A and B are shown apart, each in its own frame.
Chain A
């Protein structure tokens, strides 16, 4: 019996080996017959924000064809987790939607945030009989402030003269977990309204005024908020555009800072990013909410990669990472993939800033890129 068991085990093992070799992952074939483990095969590990995770995994898949001997691994553990991981030195790079704090820079001065992509946040709604809705900043603020509490409020009606707005109380859905999405959304509300900044504030999690009125409902993650809105008539919420797109959820248009009606798409996102192309600080970070451009989508934020400017160990690894970042922000196919997924790629001016910063990266005191 014991022998039989071993036989079966051996059979299963060989079978799975055969199966994986013909069907599964392509075997790594280090270029030029270089032995794996030497400069030939490089593994780069990263972790952090979940917001760019879909496009990062796509890029990593695509990059296997570009550089077969470089393997990237990116795990979505949250922006905070990513920041901690790179500070602890346990990853080669990190992803983050939120900015490093001053004390984190003090701890590790060579950390550099690089904008990689931008994403939009969109208001989603569920109002029976209404399939076309437009809102402006002050109205959105008042709704989330619980000052406008009924769909037939004159402020909403004035913006949507053709809509059959019901006489029904507004239910406000929001994230129950700390989230970069909430940070972008509240940044926008704060940029529009001083009152919002003073009374509610901007951040990954805030005290929602609608909750105090019993008209608020929380959901975990984008799916939680979308679920809450879809199952609650006369509700409004906010999710990432990429999420709304991939799940076919209708979202509202906005009146932007220039007074034009805009819908969230690649063009309006690009416009907002271009409008803020000069707004970058020395640390290559910028807020891009409530952009002044004619066609700008107003509720947006960058997502960043965090790398070291001074590496002291394996320079081949550093080079591989920089090559990958250069490819990711400049390859047309990579950009197309990001756009398909609902992200906005960097405008030329911003990309030039990142490229210039990459040139400054040093390994053992030497420049890494030619």
Chain B
């Protein structure tokens, strides 16, 4: 009793309390300001792009190939299709090895190979994308003697790979060991438990990682300058029609689609934005909006799908 009263003796409790509250208020508002600063760029960019790009957005943009410079009209169909093709093939190249490697890391987390794998994926994700592009130029473009969607897909896959691998590993690690062991105890082979028990349990995180990887690849410009180059005439439906018309095989269609210089949305944005013609700069803004909406809708679609899945599974 005495000791306690002694500690607070001579202190004005009411004043102390007021001071504490004041400091609390100040710090709270400081964190609020900091949060605002973190959020402002996102909304600023989004709103700015919507305002600048929105007024130039029209149907032509999605269904026409580019016109000559300095003339009104025309679209960026070539870039939309090129982006779709390259991101699709990059995903095909990157996702299977990334998931397999993630499973390896899950099962053998502490072997020298696993440590080496982790270390090298970290290094890989740190390599500037333009260097990856130069690599693609040296290894694919110079060897093949032409720029191509294939070369673009490969460099995009290299950029996607570490993003997907590391997030998949983290997500698979969260699946309780007992689940997998239970499946194994019931006589399921390892691959089956991986595919039907572990992967579905971690699906949400893995899919989010894949989406992040795709979004990253869809926005890359620098590596494509060296590998895909750009092509104002790229139109896959025309290539498909053409091969059907002349009764050529599927191989010929794939060759036309994959073995030609190809455009992409960020590449077109970069090229158009530095053109002297106002029409091109306006289209660049519209392309920026399309690119942003593409990445955004990919994100939102994935989230919606995941939310639905979660509702179905957990009621």
Contact = CB atoms under 8 A, between A and B. Distances in A.
B170 interface: no
B248 A20 contact: no
A45 B145 CA distance: 11
Given A90-B147, A247-B276, A54 B69 contact: yes
Nearest to A64: B233
A57 B77 CA distance: 16
6 contacts: A27-B241, A27-B242, A45-B231, A73-B233, A220-B274, A223-B274
Interface of B: 62-70, 75, 77, 141-142, 145-147, 225, 229-233, 235, 237-238, 241-243, 246, 248, 252, 256, 260-261, 271, 274-278, 308
B248 A71 contact: no
B276 A25 contact: no
A190 interface: no
Contacts of A53: 69, 275
A36 B63 contact: no
A19 B60 CA distance: 10
A57 B231 CA distance: 11
A35 interface: yes
B146 A25 contact: no
Nearest to A38: B246
Contact of B69 (A19, A57, A247): A57
A160 interface: no
Nearest to B241: A27
Contacts of A91: 146-147
Interface residues of A, number: 45
B45 to A, nearest CB: 20
A319 B69 CA distance: 27
B237 A16 contact: yes
Contacts of A41: 242
A240 B229 CA distance: 25
Contacts of A223: 274, 276
Interface in A1-47: 1, 16-17, 19-21, 23-25, 27-28, 35-37, 41, 43, 45, 47
Contacts of B241: 21, 27
A107 interface: no
Nearest to B232: A73
A149 to B, nearest CB: 30
A99 interface: no
A60 B68 CA distance: 8
A43 B63 CA distance: 22
A90 B142 contact: yes
B68 A58 contact: yes
A33 B228 CA distance: 30
B242 A57 contact: no
A27 B238 contact: yes
A88 B142 CA distance: 6
Contact of B237 (A20, A54, A243): A20
Nearest to B267: A75
Contact of A25 (B147, B230, B233, B274): B233
B248 A37 contact: yes
Contacts of B233: 25, 43, 71, 73
Contacts of B77: 20, 24-25
B68 A247 contact: no
A17 B235 CA distance: 10
Nearest to A1: B308
Contact of B141 (A23, A28, A90, A242): A90
Contacts of A61: 67-68
B260 A43 contact: yes
B235 A341 contact: no
A24 B63 contact: yes
Given A57-B69, A90-B141, A242 B260 contact: no
Given A37-B246, A73-B232, A247-B276, 5 more contacts: A25-B238, A57-B232, A61-B68, A88-B142, A91-B146
Q: Which 5 A-B pairs have the closest CB atoms?
A: A58-B68, A54-B69, A75-B230, A25-B65, A243-B276
A212 B66 CA distance: 44
Contacts of A89: 142, 145
Given A246-B276, A247-B276, A90 B146 contact: yes
Contacts of B238: 20, 24-25, 27-28
Contacts of B146: 45, 90-91
A25 B261 CA distance: 17
Contacts of B147: 45, 90-91
Given A23-B63, A24-B65, A88-B142, A341 B248 contact: no
A54 B276 contact: yes
